């Protein structure tokens, strides 16, 4: 079992990274075989990517969105790494995408969606407590929040500091 961070922690990275979220939605029950096969293809891609440290793939977090839909939040070292994977004719993604477009998509039974975010090193903030490494925390350096330079104000300390300073008597 993964150890749980009992104290408040933050993830730090010197470089930026990419978040790619993609998901599937089962629109028609008759597409269930396609949905199962698509899930198998996605799982195979993740296994291949995780086995290749040069791929630029940092990891993923599954997202449960209900009985008919789900997604994966993927983390990549760079946009170039993601694009190289997505367009490699010898990789597993191009044949899977071709299969979806030619065999699955025309009837609308199974839907796909995607979002892509390029994150600069100074434009993200994290907070972890009472959880094991998850999300960015799986591949970033974890530091105690008290040692972390807050960039965007996610920490509850900011509101706690304001409340504390407001309660202190003012000396005249």
How far, in Å, are 5, 66, 89, 90, 147 from residue 35 at the CA level? 36, 14, 23, 23, 45
* Lookup result for tokens 């995780």: 50
pLDDT tens for the 172 residues of the chain, in order: 678 888 888 888 888 999 999 999 999 999 999 999 999 999 999 999 999 999 999 999 999 999 999 999 999 999 999 999 999 999 999 999 999 999 887 789 999 999 999 999 888 888 888 998 889 999 888 889 888 776 676 655 554 444 333 444 334 3
Q: What is the pTM of this model?
A: 0.82
Domains of the chain by residue range: 17-119
User: Could you tell me the fold of the domain covering 17-119?
Assistant: Alpha-Beta Plaits (3.30.70)
């Amino acid at each position: 079992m993964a150890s749980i961070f009992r104290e408040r922690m933050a993830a730090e990275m010197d470089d930026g990274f990419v978040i790619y979220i993609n998901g599937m939605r089962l629109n028609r029950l008759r597409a269930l075989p396609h949905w199962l096969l698509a899930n198998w293809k996605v799982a195979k891609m993740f296994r291949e990517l995780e086995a290749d440290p040069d791929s630029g793939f940092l990891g993923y977090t599954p997202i449960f969105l209900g009985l008919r839909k789900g997604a994966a939040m993927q983390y990549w070292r760079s946009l170039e790494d993601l694009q190289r994977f997505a367009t490699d004719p010898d990789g597993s993604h191009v044949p899977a995408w071709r299969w979806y477009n030619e065999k699955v998509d025309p009837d609308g039974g199974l839907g796909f969606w995607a979002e892509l975010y390029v994150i600069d090193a100074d434009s993200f903030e994290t907070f972890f407590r009472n959880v094991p490494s998850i999300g960015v925390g799986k591949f970033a350096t974890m530091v105690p929040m008290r040692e972390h330079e807050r960039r965007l104000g996610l920490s509850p300390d900011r509101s706690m500091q304001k409340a504390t300073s407001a309660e202190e008597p003012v000396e005249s």
